[in-house]
Amino acid sequence: MCRIAGIASLDGRPVLPGEVQAMCEVLAHRGPDEAGLFIGSGAGLGMRRLSIIDLETGSQPLASEDRSIWAVCNGEIYNHGDLRRDLERRGHRFATRSDAETIVHLYEDLGAECVARLRGMFALAVWDDRRHELLLARDRLGIKPLYYAEIGNRILFGSELKAILEHPDVERRLSWEAVGHLFAFQSTPARQSIVEGVRKLEPGHLLQAAAGRGIRTRRYWDLRFEPDTRSGAAELGERLRAGLEESVRLHLVSDVPVGAFLSGGIDSSAVVATMSRLSPGPLKTFSIGFDERDYDELAHARTVARQFGTEHHEMVVTPDALDLLDDLVWHLDEPFGDSSAIPTFMVSRLAARSVRVVLSGDGGDELFAGYDKYVVEGRERRAERVLRPFHGALGIVASAWPRWARGGNFLRHFSLTGAARYLDASTLLRLEDQRRLFLPEAFALLSAHDPWRPAAARLRGTAGHWLSALQSFDLAGYLPLDILTKVDRMSMAHGLEARVPLLDHRLVEFAATIPPGLVLERGVTKSIFKRALRGVLPDTILDRPKHGFAVPLGRWFRGRLGPFVRDLLLSRRCRSRGFFHEPFIADLLARHARGRDLDAAIWTLISFEMWCRRFLDATPSWRPSRAPSVTAPLVLGRVGA
């Protein structure tokens, strides 16, 4: 597991070692064990390594036999053993046992098409010194992040936004497209970061850049939901169990101890149950709880831990956790509206005391329709058929209803249809709310971009069953932008590698063949998954209502954290930015104090303001000095961590 950064000059302009080193040093938390650097003619690749596989000789950057191909990779290639054997049969010679070395040899044979052969979680960069061509690629589901920016005739890239911001040529300007998306959906968009000009490489995409040909991005993998109507539920359940076991077995490959996050929900419990059968010794599990009983799941996690005899560790999160807010903002890298980043940060810190790798159950809700919103959507689709003749009248009444009066949102929601209604239920602040939150100048910039339009187009453009369309939408959006972002940033904040076996792409492709009626069966979420796990997990775990990874922020904000929130969001520093309408924020806080549950909006505002203080107001620490002439590749394999 390495954190990568680099620069490629399409016009042959030299890359300075200090440029790449500065980008890598800001990622030191993600790779505390060692650093590596390659500087060639027109390119520089750097890494910070967290040693997981091949602890002794697995340093990066890695080179082909003739040292014309160089690569760095963040993540794990789980099928590297099979790839290595095939490559060795074709005459390739390996210098290490590293899983990432397969990339350079595959690239020698297949060029950019090598990415399709990789099974794992990864963000990688390959520099072809013969062609002076750069390849960037990101794994199919977006488990590992990758940012890039085109500055003049140069491409800067890195595992985190902050690595690119460390370069003095990158201007720290807000992307108002991203700001609008943040306050609508609590995350920045799939292609654009919060900083104008810095983009994200989307999941399942690769980028190629070369002099004279410019930059091209393309999709190399896409998921299609095509129901298997020939197989019965029993057969599909057996294949599902077998696929889960194969994926967990691959994800257990490591030269360091492996543990598991355990929430007590079905997904993490299924992973723990499978791990316990495959692991040679006692399994370490890690859980987080709260003093507020209606938010606490520790009892369920203990049930699973006892069932499988794990060495269980747990921690209770209190409001004092927000003392770590500066750290959270730094590691999240962008403003982030999901407050469950707090317990994810804490459980990662807990796990990092005992292991260097954990498996999590993320992805199961999208694959097997585990969200209650899918059940709600099914009900509302049935209601829509009844209410269709009245939609016009509902819209008129809703538009005349007082903005904050109870019942107005209900009326407006049911005046919508199809994709618009589903997106409405997923929206934090609608356009009319954003208009009142932002000052006119800021709103004019923000409203030039409509975050709902591309989302609605994607939903409407997905063929097949409505449930499959929603799952596809969330797998491409909510999963990588929220869930996987949170897990990656919060685990790596502590030098902990989090792996997600439910998101092995072959298991995902199989799940997409399960008929929707077996996934959400008569209003029962994850029906086929529960069927497959019956007898493996306790019935009390399989049959209990879903409990999201929620945080009692509302109570905390009404209690001891209230003064902190007011002091931050109504501060002179926040007002001086000229973004927000102060009376709206004051009213928001007052309504929350009176009992309205507005903690998600408040948390998003906190995250945004704290991000502005930490990143927008800052300047890069590295400044260029006189450039040394680089006439031959510079390779530093083990720089002191």
Active centre residues (catalytic): 2
CA distance 397 to 412: 8
Q: Contact, 263 vs 487, CB < 8 A? A: no
Q: How many helices (H) and strands (E) does the chain have?
A: 30, 18
What are the strands, taking DSSP E only, across 119-200?
120-128, 133-138, 147-151, 154-158, 198-200
Q: Residue 330: name the closest of 161, 143, 573, 171 by CA.
A: 161
Cis peptide before 17 (omega within 30 of 0): no
Could you give the angle at the alpha carbon of 76 between the alpha carbons of 72 and 77, nearest 5°?
95
Tokens linked to 96: 């290490």
Burial class (CB in 10 A: 0-12, 13-18, 19+), 143: buried
Q: Contact, 568 vs 578, CB < 8 A? A: no
Q: Residue 5: name the closest of 156, 143, 196 by CA.
A: 156
Q: Cα–chain-centroid distance for residue 618?
A: 25
Beta pairing, strands 258-261 & 214-219:
unpaired
Give me the residues paired with residue 154 across strands: 9, 151
**Given phi > 0 = left and psi -120 to 50 = alpha, else beta, which region is 464?**
left
Give 598's contacts (C-beta < 8 A, 6+ positions apart): 554, 588, 591, 592
Give 604's contacts (C-beta < 8 A, 6+ positions apart): 182, 183, 186, 335, 337, 428
Q: Contact, 486 vs 344, CB < 8 A? A: yes
Q: Residue 66: name the closest of 39, 40, 89, 93 by CA.
A: 93
3-state helix, strand, coil in the chain (%, to 5): 45, 15, 35
Tokens linked to 67: 């040292």
Residue 319 to residues 351, 359, 473, 564: CA-CA distances in angstroms?
20, 27, 34, 12
Q: Contact, 103 vs 114, CB < 8 A? A: yes
CA distance 5 to 156: 8
Burial 65-90 (b: 16+ CB within 10 A, else e): eeeebbbbbbbbbbbbeebbebbeee
Give me the residues paired with residue 499 across strands: 359
Tokens linked to 266: 């079905």
Q: Contact, 357 vs 497, CB < 8 A? A: yes
Q: Within 13 Å and on the Cβ side, how many CA atoms surround 638?
A: 7
Q: Contact, 191 vs 207, CB < 8 A? A: no
